[in-house]
Amino acid sequence: MKATRRLAMVVSYPTRLLIPLLIAAFFSLLRLPCMGQERKLTGHVPLIVSHLKPVGSPAASKDIELVISLPLRNQPELNTLLHDLYDPFGKSYRHFLTPEQFNEQFAPTEADYQRVLSYAKSCKFSVVNTQPNRTLVRVSASVANIEKALRVKLQTYKHPTENRSFYATNTEPSIDSSLPILHISGLDDYAQPRITLRSTPILNEKDMKTNGPSAPDGEAGRGPGGAFSGNDFRTAYAPGITLNGAGQVVGLLSLDGYYPSDISNYETISGFPAVPIQNVYLNGFTGTPSTTGFGNLETSMDMELAIAMAPGMSTLNIYGIRYSSPNIDEVLNEMANPTKGEQLPHQISTSYSVVYDPSVYQSFQQMAAQGQTFFGYSGDQGAYTTYTPGSKTDILPFPPGDYSYVTSVGGTQLTTASLDGTWSSETTWFGSGGGPSPWFTIPSWQQGMDVSSNLGSTTMRNCPDVSMVATNILVICNNGKMVNASGTSASTPLWAGFTALVNQQAAINHLAPVGFINPALYAIGRRPYYSSCFHDITTGSNASRNPSLYRAVPGYDLCTGWGTPNGINLINALAIGIPFNTDVPTAATSLNNFVFDYARDMDGRIYFNQAKYGEAFRGWSELAGQGRTNTAPGCASILSSLFVFIRGLDNRIYLNQAAFGHDYSGWFEVQGHGTTDAAPAAASIDNVVYVFIKGMDGKVYKNQATFGYGFGDWFPVPGTIQTNTAPAVVTHGKTIYVFIRGLDGRIYKNEADKGHSFGDWFPVPGTVLTDAAPAVATINNTLYVIVKGLDGKIYKNEADFGHSFGDWFELQGGGTTDAAPTATSIGQSLFVFMKGHDGKVYLNQAAYRHAFSGWFDVGGRYY
């Protein structure tokens, strides 16, 4: 009866009082962190789940560890920074950030971090670990609390290709829309880290005497059983080099332990000093080696091969995390943000495939911003094929190797000379993973490549980037066992060790580390120096699973990328840059207190170098558009813009232009269909740009355009003098001055005021003759003409306006050239450039009416 009366009392409660209480209760629920307006996260449901039926559910009381990641701040600014850090012409080039600087600019705020911590606690998640850079929170929670907080249902499924079950959610998690959460790792354990290398035992000494070495003929190393070991790798890929990685820290991601005696035994038989090793173990990882599987083999091999390539490194950091860990977010974060007393590693390798998630991407971006190089193996199952969830035959890329800020490493089969172990030849290892990524679009540094012969993609990221030997590798592991191992997981730590040599060379030259090397690798691959920097692998295939995919071809391919390192040439190209070389004259102009020099590289592309007045030149960078020419360029500045002209391979004239401080537009043809077999010349008056060419008939022709409008047709400059070289042009006030080399070797001048016609040609006096085009510049009211004499020396002649020229005088410095000079001026200084006999560009400069400084290399290397 009491219960009935109480119920009756509730039902009869006055409505006008009940409604406000209900509304208050409703809004109090909205204020709970777990109950606000919802937002669905993405990327948490494995694709395979839609093809499977659940076989059960995890126990509601089962505890699962999750890692909640927060997004970095200022992502647009970070994207810009990453571009500028790897643009050789950019003001931020290789000015990498420290972890402290990176976190100050881009890490989540303390307030946002505290909001996420409060949210986790309100959802009854136990906070296990936090990060000083505020990007990650590790929590532990029961299945029941996870399902309630995230609006998901965890279920178990039978793994389609492995003998185990896994749990996953079939719906995306939901969170309060105001929470700064990027991703929640650990909501499934479908894709666990894995390795795919293979190995065979090496015969003991008695069996080797009876049966011979186990290595195939022609590819034997000098280690036990004929395997490659110790100095074999340096002899093949870094011959005669004293660099040993001194001062460098190499980092290795490890999901298993190692026996210290195995590493020291490897060093002893190789004649290496003992490398200091720092263990950086996370989340309860103890470093105890496993007794099954290939985990211990993998860890030992990674360590031994990194040491083999860089035996003098200062420290080898081993980043350990449990193999069964649902993610590696924290270990990658540790690599970018040292918290265990270790030094920051500038070269890192992993031979494990790992789970993709946005937190992983953020760590790789941070590493790139800090000058760290991360290598990932390309896989050991051959060509990548179309992704089909759960298929046992389709081969996926092995993450993280195909991510845009990771260098993917393929594998080769190496043959060395039998007497001294030097490199002899290489072919593709059949298991070398490669192909277009199904996940990531093509990065800028891969765009524009001709993929017609290698079957690469023009829209998706192609793998691998580079390679190194992947077969017949000696590994000491499992507490004293010697095995012969194969896999791109051997190639990858070798590249990390090689990069330690590169960064040592950079440090010797007082330069920053190379950082993310892919932009440099692809720039080198497209340059004439490619063959001196890489062993180009042109034989073999990785078509072990699909006969049509893929075969090695000259240049880049989807089997071995650009190939394998060719010693000091690649080291210097990456660490210092390739010395710029040209075989034709340059062109120069000035704008906004900067001098710009344009030159044709040996491959026909046009590059520019610039220097602020009084400062050093910054280095060579290619103009956009990949135009080609057989002759020197021409250039002019107008209204804070730069105009560069070239004679195309079809003998027509093309223009590339850029506003000061901005990118170039790419090449487009100048109207009028003028043709020439020599370099063009250009100048400007007010808002009009003029371009002059030597016509096929030996006469000089002119075209012009008002800024912002198109060019017209070509008109001949009057006069009877002909030339067989390019003209030179300069303006002063409203007058255009054109100089040419006559067929008699003398220099002739023609001039016209703006809007008026040219007259006839008049000879410049003096006894010096030339067999090349002249150069011309003005300072104040003085006109300077510069020529290459028949003796190869550089001479100048000058005249004040309204007066005659005098005789020719050699520029101080004694430099000689086999090509025409070029000249420009800034304020009261004259700049004269010439091509040296070594192909470098040299500069001689003088203040007005003062002596010249002598010739010096403008320097500036390029990728």
Ranges of each domain in the chain: 37-185, 198-575, 580-862
The three-point CA angle 585-591-593 to 5° equals 110
- % of the chain residues with pLDDT over 70: 90
Phi and psi (nearest 5°) for 479?
A: 65, 50
Q: Residue 546's pLDDT band (boundaries 50, 70, 90)?
A: confident
| CATH superfamily entry for domain 198-575 | Peptidase S8/S53 domain (3.40.50.200)
Partnered with residue 139 across adjacent β-strands are 66, 127
Rounded CA gap, 735 and 801, in Å? 11
* Contact in structure between 273 and 312 (CB atoms under 8 Å): yes
Closest to 700 (Cα-Cα) out of 669, 721, 672, 673 = 721
Task: Identify the pLDDT of residue 529.
Answer: 82
Cis peptide before 400 (omega within 30 of 0): yes
* Contact in structure between 391 and 436 (CB atoms under 8 Å): no
Between the CA of residue 514 and those of 75, 186, 266, 318, what are the distances in Å? 23, 34, 29, 22
- Lowest mean pLDDT segment, chosen from 313-327, 474-488, 699-713: 313-327
Residue type, 397: P
Res. 209: pLDDT tops 50: no
Res. 12: pLDDT tops 90: no
Cβ within 8 Å of residue 849, ≥6 positions away: none
Q: Residue 35's pLDDT band (boundaries 50, 70, 90)?
A: low
**DSSP tag of 234:** H
813-843 pLDDT tens trace:
999 999 999 999 998 999 999 999 988 899 9
390: exposed, middle or buried (C-beta count within 10 Å: 0-12, 13-18, 19+)? middle
Q: Where are the beta strands (DSSP E) in 489-640?
A: 534-535, 564-565, 578-579, 587-591, 594-600, 606-612, 621-622, 634-638
Task: Residue 845: count other Cβ atoms within 10 Å of its Cβ.
Answer: 20
Determine the distance from the C-alpha atom of residue 286 to the mean position of all C-alpha atoms in its chain, rounded to a whole number: 35
* Contact in structure between 484 and 555 (CB atoms under 8 Å): no
Cβ within 8 Å of residue 315, ≥6 positions away: 249, 250, 275, 276, 277, 278, 342, 343
Joined tokens for residue 668: 């487009």
Joined tokens for residue 611: 């220097």
Q: Residue 212's pLDDT band (boundaries 50, 70, 90)?
A: very low
Task: Identify the pLDDT of residue 85.
Answer: 94
382-405 pLDDT tens trace:
898 766 665 555 455 566 888 899
Q: What SS3 class is residue 474?
A: strand
399-452 pLDDT tens trace:
688 889 999 999 999 999 987 899 999 999 999 999 999 889 999 999 989 999
Rounded CA gap, 587 and 584, in Å? 10
Rounded CA gap, 250 and 313, in Å? 7
Rounded CA gap, 820 and 728, in Å? 11
Task: Residue 391: count other Cβ atoms within 10 Å of its Cβ.
Answer: 15
- Sign of torsion over alpha carbons 567, 570, 575, 581: positive
Of 120 and 91, the one with more pLDDT: 120
Task: Identify the pLDDT of residue 218.
Answer: 52
Determine the distance from the C-alpha atom of residue 373 to the mean position of all C-alpha atoms in its chain, rounded to a whole number: 9
Between the CA of residue 201 and those of 215, 225, 227, 259, 477, what are the distances in Å? 12, 10, 11, 18, 11
Cis peptide before 464 (omega within 30 of 0): yes
Residue type, 666: G
Closest to 184 (Cα-Cα) out of 362, 329, 59 = 329
Q: How far apart are the first and last CA of the chain?
A: 91
Q: Residue 738's pLDDT band (boundaries 50, 70, 90)?
A: very high
Closest to 266 (Cα-Cα) out of 238, 315, 231 = 231
Res. 204: pLDDT tops 80: no
Of 333 and 604, the one with more pLDDT: 333
Between the CA of residue 513 and those of 89, 94, 97, what are the distances in Å? 17, 7, 11
Task: Identify the pLDDT of residue 353.
Answer: 80
Task: Identify the pLDDT of residue 622.
Answer: 85
* Contact in structure between 617 and 860 (CB atoms under 8 Å): yes
Q: Residue 677's pLDDT band (boundaries 50, 70, 90)?
A: very high
Quote the pTM value.
0.79
Task: Identify the pLDDT of residue 413.
Answer: 96
740-765 pLDDT tens trace:
999 999 999 999 999 899 999 999 99
Task: Identify the pLDDT of residue 21.
Answer: 45
Closest to 119 (Cα-Cα) out of 185, 31, 34 = 34
Between the CA of residue 26 and those of 29, 37, 239, 560, 770, what are the distances in Å? 5, 13, 75, 62, 93
Task: Identify the pLDDT of residue 542.
Answer: 93
* 580-862: CATH topology: Neuraminidase (2.120.10)
321-364 pLDDT tens trace:
886 655 689 999 999 999 999 999 999 999 888 777 888 899 99
Parallel, antiparallel or unpaired: strands 794-800 and 809-810 = antiparallel
Joined tokens for residue 10: 């509730």
- % of the chain residues with pLDDT over 90: 73
341: exposed, middle or buried (C-beta count within 10 Å: 0-12, 13-18, 19+)? exposed
